[in-house]
């Protein structure tokens, strides 16, 4: 009993030290190593979907700003020995056509291809067999839905990671991180294909289009690397719609996820055909990037969600305090963002707060 009391007393002290109270919060919002956060708000709950090697789990919370005590459940455990059994990355859960779909990235053998596959790659290519997969389920919320394996999402037997759905008046699309050819390894670009439904691609390989390549200095690693495209990447694409103007954006991550330079970049659909690369315009500078003054580094792989009362837009992303610790330094953060006069998103500088909680948070 005494121990319990002491524990709760210590917890209260820690809580005060964080400057966290009912009107403010601090980052990170989950005190554990985690990456690629994807959040959806549904029926007054926030749902956070995460992966861990061969599992996909879902947490739910009434507040966006603290996931330490959130309820959590296993949504999917990959069976062993299959092409999607290991290294599950970047799951997302979407409600499309009245059903729930989880889209995720996975690999057959923990990113260690046999030597006679690796030898064909231009550079070492551990992720050469990473592909996109889809789970499906029917239920009123992702929490009560039983998900079952539906299909691989065709990427023409080529590298594919971080896939997402892009919804447009002309149909549904798949946007994902891709290579030019099967064994390139780098650069990692953004590709788009057209979907017939959430698990079936309708465009043949000849219609697969590359809508972004990491060609600007800040999309390369190290910055401006001149000699080759090793570590130059575009990945983690996410659709973002301006709620007032309807402008369509794809916010994606650029450079390299294991160091301080990882950042968010932006494409805007300025034409009417998402399959036409010329209909996309890339912003020439990153839109969300490291803030050394607050020790916020390597910020990327965002998702977007509304405040409880629907009036504010929030970005949920991962970042590092210690950029020397690579992937294991990543934790999950959130901040409010607004919109510029020209309709583009106006992201804040990444930091730790304290910040005012989302509008309508009890
Ligand atoms: C506050 O900080 C302490 C110590 O750093 C940490 O253990 C605790 O989980 C934090 N609480 C919240 C709500 O962030
Ligand atoms: C919560 O914390 C913030 C920042 O430390 C402070 O300005 C505010 O007055 C606090 N609010 C309450 C209700 O304690
Ligand atoms: C597993 O992946 C390999 C390499 O991409 C592919 O050749 C093979 O057809 C896949 N197997 C199944 C059952 O999809
Ligand atoms: C999910 O599966 C569980 C256990 O088999 C079952 O009790 C529950 O009714 C199912 N839920 C739905 C929405 O089908």
Domain range summary for the chain, segments of one domain joined by + = 2-356
Active site includes 313? no
Q: Is the pLDDT assigned to residue 4 strictly greater than 80?
A: no
Ligand nearest 146 Cα, by number? 4
103 C-alpha to ligand 3 centroid (Å)? 18
Write down the pLDDT at residue 22.
Answer: 87
- Ligand 4 site: residues with CB under 6 angstroms? 139, 144-146
Which residues are paired to 100 by β-bridges?
A: 95, 137
Predicted local distance difference test score (pLDDT) of residue 20: 63
* Residue with CA nearest ligand 3 atom 1: 83
Burial classification of residue 89, based on how many CB atoms lie within 10 Å of its CB (0-12 exposed, 13-18 middle, 19 or more buried): buried
Nearest ligand, CA 16: 1
Q: What pLDDT is stored for residue 362 in this prediction?
A: 80
Residue 118 a catalytic site member: no
Number of H helices, E strands in the chain: 2, 23
Look at residue 3 in the predicted model and tell me its pLDDT: 46
The pair phi, psi for residue 306, each rounded to 5°, is -90, 160
The pLDDT of residue 251 is above 90: yes
Q: Indicate the SS3 state at residue 293.
A: helix
**In ligand 1, which atom is closest to the CA atom of 31?**
9
Distance CA 250, CA 239 (A): 5
**In the chain, pLDDT over 70 holds for what percent of residues?**
94
Mean pLDDT of 275-282: 98
Q: Which ligand is nearest to the CA of 140?
A: 4
The band of 19, judged by pLDDT with boundaries at 50, 70 and 90, is low
Ligand 4 centroid from CA 146, angstroms? 6
How confident is residue 200, by pLDDT bands cut at 50, 70 and 90?
Answer: very high
pLDDT tens-digit map of 327-345? 999 999 999 999 999 999 9
| pLDDT-derived band at 55, boundaries 50, 70, 90 | very high
Least Cα distance to 38 among 98, 128, 123, 104 occurs for: 104
Fold that domain 2-356 belongs to in CATH: Tachylectin-2; Chain A (2.115.10)
Give dist(CA 280, CA 173) in Å, integer: 14
- Please give the number of the atom of ligand 4 that sits closest to the Cα of 139: 13
Which residue has the CA at smallest separation from atom 11 of ligand 1?
15
3-state secondary structure 127-142: CCCCEEEEEEECCCCC
- 24's CB contacts (< 8 A; 6+ apart) are 353, 354, 355, 356, 357
Please report the pLDDT score of residue 6 as a whole number.
46
Q: What is the pLDDT of residues 342-351, one digit of tens each?
A: 999 999 999 9
Cβ of residue 157 lying under 6 Å from some atom of ligand 3: yes
Tell which atom from ligand 3 comes closest to the C-alpha of 131: 5
What's the 351 CA to ligand 2 centre distance in angstroms?
18
Between 185 and 15, where is the model more confident?
A: 185
The dihedral over CA atoms of 353, 51, 346, 335, expressed in degrees to the nearest 10, equals -20
Q: Is the pLDDT of residue 18 over 60?
A: no
Checking if the pLDDT of 151 tops 80, the result is: yes
pLDDT (average), residues 72-82: 98
**Residue 49 Cα, ligand 1 centroid: separation in angstroms?**
22
Mean pLDDT of the chain: 94
**In this structure, which residue's CA is closest to atom 14 in ligand 3?**
83
Neighbours of 53 (CB within 10 A): 12
Catalytic residue from among 92, 219, 235, 258: 235
Q: Is 130 in the pocket of ligand 3 (CB under 6 A)?
A: no
Q: How far is the CA of 70 from the centre of ligand 1 (A)?
A: 14
Matching residue, tokens 């510029």: 340
Mean pLDDT to the nearest integer, 161-166? 98
Query: E strands, 117-254, where?
Result: 131-137, 148-153, 160-168, 171-178, 189-197, 200-201, 209-212, 234-241, 248-254
Work out the end-to-end distance of the chain between its first and last CA atoms, rounded to an integer number of angstroms: 31
Mean pLDDT of 62-67: 96
Cβ of 23 closer than 6 Å to ligand 2, yes or no, is yes
Contact between 192 and 165 (Cβ < 8 Å): no
Burial of 200 (0-12, 13-18, 19+ CB in 10 A): middle
Which residue of 99, 136, 146 sits with most ligand 4 atoms within 8 Å of its CB, as the best mutation to test the pocket?
Answer: 146
* Contacts with 73 (C-beta within 8 Å, 6 or more apart), sequence order: 57, 58, 59, 143
Nearest to 41 by CA among 359, 304, 345: 304
- The pLDDT assigned to 169 comes to 97
Q: Which protein residue has the closest C-alpha to ligand 2 atom 14?
A: 21
Q: Which of 243, 238, 241 is nearest to 300 (CA)?
A: 238
pLDDT value at residue 282? 98
């Amino acid at each position: 009993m005494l121990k319990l009391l002491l524990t709760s007393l210590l917890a209260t002290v820690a809580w005060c030290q964080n400057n966290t109270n009912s009107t403010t919060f601090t980052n990170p919002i989950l005190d554990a190593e985690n990456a690629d956060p994807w959040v959806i708000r549904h029926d007054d709950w926030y749902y956070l979907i995460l992966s861990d090697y061969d599992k996909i789990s879902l947490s739910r919370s009434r507040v966006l700003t603290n996931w330490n005590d959130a309820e959590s459940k296993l949504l999917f455990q990959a069976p062993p020995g299959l092409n999607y059994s290991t290294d599950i990355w970047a799951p997302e859960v979407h409600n499309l056509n009245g059903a729930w779909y989880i889209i995720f990235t996975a690999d057959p053998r923990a990113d260690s291809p046999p030597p006679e596959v690796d030898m064909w790659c231009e550079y070492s290519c551990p992720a050469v067999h990473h592909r996109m997969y889809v789970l499906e389920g029917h239920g009123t919320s992702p929490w009560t839905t039983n998900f079952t394996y539906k299909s691989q999402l065709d990427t023409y037997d080529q590298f594919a990671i971080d896939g997402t759905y892009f919804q447009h008046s002309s149909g549904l699309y798949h946007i994902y991180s891709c290579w030019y050819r099967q064994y390139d390894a780098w650069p990692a670009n953004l590709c788009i294909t057209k979907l017939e439904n959430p698990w079936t691609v309708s465009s043949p390989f000849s219609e697969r289009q590359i809508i972004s390549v990491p060609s600007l200095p800040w999309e390369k690693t190290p910055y401006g690397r001149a000699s080759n495209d090793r570590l130059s990447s575009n990945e983690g694409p996410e659709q973002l719609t301006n709620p007032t103007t309807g402008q369509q954006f794809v916010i994606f991550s650029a450079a390299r996820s294991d160091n301080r330079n990882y950042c968010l970049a932006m494409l805007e659909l300025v034409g009417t055909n998402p399959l036409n690369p010329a209909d996309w315009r890339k912003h020439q500078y990153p839109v969300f990037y490291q803030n050394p003054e607050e020790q916020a580094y390597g910020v990327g792989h965002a998702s977007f969600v509304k405040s409880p009362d629907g009036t504010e837009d929030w970005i949920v992303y991962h970042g590092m305090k210690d950029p020397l610790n690579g992937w294991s330094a990543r934790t999950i953060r959130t901040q409010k963002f607004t919109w510029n006069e020209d309709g583009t998103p106006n992201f804040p500088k990444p930091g730790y707060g304290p910040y005012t909680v989302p509008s309508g948070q009890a």
